[in-house]
Structure 1
């Protein structure tokens, strides 16, 4: 069974774990504890014509379009049109978070990183109360309670979060990146990944174990709301409600180390990439998880701190 769930890494990098679940989101304070919860705005309804947010950065010979993505969707959703398609069609390079390797290579990477090497099973790392909650969640979704025992807590959390979404019609091969990649390959565009699979999974794997366990407990506590939270997240994305979407996608990162590792530090690194890329002529369509494009630590905010002008494209 553990081997079966290793294969789920082929379907989603770490970004899936940032899927919305709770009704509130907390900003981490400097000590890593939570500030006063900030209510999320009233849920959006799915529009007939989804128009996700899009930005652009330009100088005399370089254009970079900046697009926030949702990495797992239900089949049949139409969003690749109007300004998004026009911007993509004008681009000669697609840049995404990570280019997935072939299944055999990805399985090896996950095996190296996601299998626990301490000899202590996952459930034995939990308190009695948290273990009972975890086993109840596994039972609810018809999974053997020991299925994730050989795994690190972070990978168990990512795997568990996927189950209710797939049961509610979400498809791991229907995300925004999947469609962008198909169009890019059809046009023979240059395709670039900002991070390697080892880097993406390593962000989680290098977290202290107590942080990983808290993240797993968060997933368990909110697992029954995962599907409805995803529905809200996709609707906010489709309506270009940036602040509400960012709050939902970045929920669960109450620990400062988690917040910095998965969001802030990556945005800083990506901003450096954008700064350097602006020195070369060309047109780039840069697509990263929409949670990176909202809030005070957003990629746009960091780019503006570096003196760049980031304009929202209204359409």
Structure 2
């Protein structure tokens, strides 16, 4: 589920030190990994059955938080979508029309953002000192990664200079795009273009450094697990993505939470915290601050952040706010 989860969004230090060779024989490592994969598949199958049994309102979920002079519409997005998918709703269109300001996770389209991204990746996404990614992996992990690379048609040399977290991101995005998903059809790109044409203001919940830094700062062994989990899910990625998008289009917040917004589906507590939980907690404070400013805003963030027990919505409600929505 790791690659699919990333799509709905993004000891040992993360500086690229070598991972020690496993003490157990390769066959024991392979058996342990196979057992882990079977457990993950069983957990996903159970979550899928529960998600398919639940239903949404038939359109992507939208919430509203307001006080005397401020209205905040909160909409869950998918960052990449198949071109031509019908996902618009009257409720979203009204919220977009009414909003003075559009709030996204991070600025990923401006020239300044592109420069910031290049600088961050050059310092935090690449291994230094002539190290190679494959040196951080066991023989079994190398084999799993190579199978995934063969599946998407990417040579190992293309990711050898990358730290594991950045290799995982690139592998997942390449796989997603190979399935026909297009960032230009993603919700933020569509909403952003319309908002710019209407001369609306833009705000962001985090910087590129803050967004990707949580992944870059994970310990190296956790980054490797993230990479290998992404590699192992490559062949099932298209089906997983289609299922998640179907749940999103139906507005099935419970289903999204079951399939994505929990540690079991994200591969580990560390990845779950880095991608979702820690960010949600910070965003809630920023959303609270927005209530101090009059006006109407549309907050559009990955749908996974608005589902599950640690969602932005649940955290706001725990603070005593009344959030209207599903």
TM-score, L = length of structure 2: 0.81
Deviations 1:284-308 (A, max 9, x none): 1001110011111110111111111
Q: Aligned residue for 1:255?
A: 268
Q: Unpaired segments of 5 or more residues in structure 1?
A: 1-13, 21-33
Larger proportion of helix = 2
Tell me by how many angstroms 1:108 deviates. Answer: 2.8
**Any conservation in 2 of the 1:70–1:175 contact (CA below 8 Å)?**
yes
1:242 aligns with 2:253: yes
1:79 aligns with 2:67: no
Q: Aligned residue for 1:37?
A: 43
Q: Aligned residue for 2:118?
A: 107
Deviations 1:50-98 (A, max 9, x none): 6100110111111101100000001112223311101111111100100
Q: Aligned residue for 1:51?
A: 59
1:272 and 1:16 map into 2 onto residues whose CA distance is 27
1:285 aligns with 2:298: yes
- How many pairs align? 284
**Any conservation in 1 of the 2:62–2:76 contact (CA below 8 Å)?**
yes
What secondary structure does 1:160 align onto?
helix
Question: Which of 285-294 and 113-122 deviates more?
Answer: 113-122
**Any conservation in 1 of the 2:100–2:201 contact (CA below 8 Å)?**
yes
Tell me by how many angstroms 1:247 deviates. Answer: 3.1
2:291 and 2:279 map into 1 onto residues whose CA distance is 18
Q: Unpaired segments of 5 or more residues in structure 2?
A: 9-39
Q: Aligned residue for 1:95?
A: 103
Tell me by how many angstroms 1:118 deviates. Answer: 5.3
Mapping for residues 145-156 of structure 1, pairs under 5 Å: 145-156=156-167
1:19 aligns with 2:26: no
Tell me by how many angstroms 1:275 deviates. Answer: 1.0
1:61 and 1:305 map into 2 onto residues whose CA distance is 22
TM-score, L = length of structure 1: 0.83
1:179 and 1:132 map into 2 onto residues whose CA distance is 39
Mapping for residues 213-232 of structure 1, pairs under 5 Å: 213-232=224-243
